[in-house]
Amino acid sequence: MNKPTGMLKKRLAALLPGAFVFFGAHAAQTNDLQVTELASGLKNPWGMVFLPEGDVLVTERAGAIRRFSFNDGLSEPLTNVPKVDAVNQGGMLDIAIDPDYTTNNTIYFCYSKAGDGGRSSAVAKAKLNGQALSDVSTIFVANPLVDNGFHFGCRLAFDADKHLYITLGDRYKYMDEAQNTDNHLGKIVRINTDGSVPATNPFAKGKAPEVFTYGHRNVQGLTIHPQSGAVWSMEHGPKGGDEINVLENGSNYGWPVITYGIDYSGEIISDKTEQEGMEQPWLYWDPSIAPSGMAFYTGTAFKDWEGDLLVGSLKFTHLRRIEIDNGKPGKQHEYLRDQAARIRDVEVGPDGLIYLLTDAPDGKLLQLSPPK
């Protein structure tokens, strides 16, 4: 990669304190890990979550949810799963379990749902009973519905107060709506487990009371910091400008008024990288790495990684580890790039090992452990 010149230098110089850019050529290539293939034959797996008993629920974008057991392997698709509208980037996407799962057996999943005028990101909850779902109910549908198959977002995470966060994309052709807090396009929303709106939401009395933050493009990473409890998100920029953000209630993250990326055609989306009232990213990448799935490492298997941020890259087919130094991004490392697998999701298991999903028609569930 060439050194940053021209407009890119100008954008780098425009960074506010606390925001960092990373140029991919500086990442360390490392493959000193043990990789175990736990399951294959998954149809574009997208999200996963560990159950307390140790099994893993995995979604397939085509519409299925499957269960992986370390004793019995990969199950057939669960039954009573609602129909999804799997068009382009849409389908069965992320999955999460209730904070009180051990007493209520409730799971949540985000998927593209068809309706009058198009399709939208929707979240349903259900009881999990072995290989079947029951009491399935929809608790959120993003508004408005849009007649295309792009930028659904759909990552899920629970905070310590049992609020559910849902990431939503700008649906590609409607990027200006990311600045309009009267709808859900380009937003991250926050709801209670029954779909109701927390009274502390910043726009609780508005037309889209679920909105928590706005000015996002297509957020495909979401996680909770294990110490601070802060909500961290990661979104795809256009051509350049992928971002990691630390979310604050009611904050505006700028898209498309400010951005470190340009259009795929080479046209300038905005000549601004900062503006009063809009947040700077904690980190951004140029060129884009197409990030998807993120998790903080907590465990003892990789002792030197404690507190680091793990990120999957679709474009450059690797797992990326970002060291964190006094709250700021430090050195970045790449793993598994030689396997040429698009990393769609990243989770840290209860055993402290790292689990990945590869995005392909013959997708895999991989386990990473330290070298023997």
Cα 116–chain centre separation: 27
- Catalytic (active site) residue 184: no
Q: How confident is the model at residue 31 (pLDDT cuts 50, 70, 90)?
A: low
- Two structure tokens written together for 270: 């905005």
Residue 60 β-bridge partners: 45
CB 278 within 8 A of CB 260: no
| Phi–psi pair at 225, nearest 5 degrees | -65, 130
Q: What is the pLDDT of residue 19?
A: 54
Residue matched to tokens 């993120």: 294
Give the Å distances, CA to CA, from 95 to 123, 188, 311: 9, 16, 18
Residue 58 β-bridge partners: 48, 66
Q: What is the pLDDT of residue 371?
A: 87
Q: Which of 35, 72, 69 lies closest to 54, judged by CA?
A: 69
Residue matched to tokens 């890259």: 313
Give the Å distances, CA to CA, from 279 to 161, 314, 338: 24, 26, 36
DSSP per position, 204-222: TTSSSTTEEEE--S-EEEE
pLDDT digits (tens, 9 = 90+) for 185-238: 999 999 999 999 999 999 999 999 999 999 999 999 999 999 999 999 999 999
CB 151 within 8 A of CB 171: yes
CB 358 within 8 A of CB 43: no
Beta strands at 328-335 and 343-348: parallel, antiparallel or unpaired: unpaired
Contacts of 168 (CB under 8 A, 6+ apart): 121, 142, 152, 153, 154, 184, 185, 186, 187, 188, 189, 216, 219
Q: What is the pLDDT of residue 21?
A: 60
Q: Catalytic one among 151, 184, 216, 318?
A: 151
Rounded CA separation 306/49 (Å): 20
* pLDDT for residue 12 is more than 60: no
pLDDT digits (tens, 9 = 90+) for 132-186: 999 999 999 999 999 999 999 999 999 999 999 999 999 998 999 999 999 999 9
Q: Which of 98, 87, 40 lies closest to 63, judged by CA?
A: 87
User: Mean pLDDT score of the chain, rounded to an integer?
Assistant: 92
Q: What is the pLDDT of residue 20?
A: 57
- In the chain, where are the structural domains located? 8-369
Q: What is the pLDDT of residue 1?
A: 33
Q: Which residue type is seen at 125?
A: K
Task: Give the Cβ contact number of residue 204 at 10 Å.
Answer: 13
Q: Which of 329, 137, 314, 152 lies closest to 232, judged by CA?
A: 329
Q: What is the pLDDT of residue 181?
A: 98
Q: Which residue type is seen at 264?
A: Y
Q: How confident is the model at residue 15 (pLDDT cuts 50, 70, 90)?
A: very low
CA atoms within 13 A on the CB side of 101: 18
Q: Domain spanning 8-369: which CATH class is it, in words? A: mainly beta
What does DSSP assign to residue 76? Answer: P
